[in-house]
Structure 1
């Protein structure tokens, strides 16, 4: 028997609402009885200025810093320093746990900051090669062999989030995933 599964990555301009679409899609999936695990990242602002990004494990709510302007050590992306230890301890662990326990593995995002972590890259590959449905966000312009490999996979659908379609996408994407999972 051939396993049917779906891999959908959202992409789009910065600030268009990719993570919001992802979160609303996850809520739609949960309403339909599916379990969703993995990680999301959200920007953090202080006095109106972005100071970094937090990651959250969707299953247990555990949080940590992905990157911060005042992070003392780690790889740099612009003014942000990536906190590899928290990415690996929280984000990577969340993805690996979701592969084992969830119907859908959420990954937000496959982008320049996260790609510094070899453990993260390995977790993404493991999720893609599993029999689980994967719903993620992929950085629009990231230049990395893993991003190129994801985009070339025959089982991956890249969906562009725009200001025009972001309101309807959560329902449409959730419908597609639910139909695929229900037919497994």
Structure 2
């Protein structure tokens, strides 16, 4: 780790596909909500029809508003594999939810910072802004993503990258929730 735990306020969870990154994030969010913290930001998840992945949905954590991140059914937008990325929803829901969380939430959630999301200049700007906001941020970053923005963020002294493994994935939500709660300004929780 490149930073002392006391200065960290941005946690980026990474790991191999299927290891449980989103599960760790969702469990951490549940603990944080139990502490009474307001969470904001963006979540993404697979969309499957008859067992086949057809795209990805994004959700504003605070409002519940949903949109299409990417789909095999889209005809416009940057292509990644068989999917087209929806830059409109990524800006109007994804990036907006991150920026709104700076003003209205205690903790900012970003799932995921990955190749699809980084096609959007608005999303890139929002990620950079939340990282510099001073608010606690919990994000998931694609493990093998070699993007200059990600490298820049990872190099910051207040950023900790945590790899989810089979050995640590059960205890990580509690550890992360405690670390994050120590950075929430003006609110205390009972452990």
> Quick one: which of 92, 97, 108 aligns to 1:89?
92
Count, aligned residues: 182
Task: Say if 2:147 is the partner of 1:137.
Answer: no
SS at match of 2:45: strand
Query: Which residue matches 1:16?
Result: 19
> Quick one: which of 152, 168, 183 aligns to 2:155?
152
Structure 2 length-normalised TM: 0.90
The answer for unaligned runs of 5 or more in structure 2 is 1-6
> Quick one: which of 26, 29, 36 aligns to 1:33?
36
SS at match of 2:184: helix
Give distance in 1, aligned partners of 2:183 and 2:42.
22
Structure 1 length-normalised TM: 0.94
Give distance in 1, aligned partners of 2:165 and 2:87.
30
Query: Which residue matches 2:127?
Result: 124
Query: Which residue matches 1:166?
Result: 169
Give distance in 2, aligned partners of 1:62 and 1:173.
26
Give distance in 1, aligned partners of 2:8 and 2:36.
17
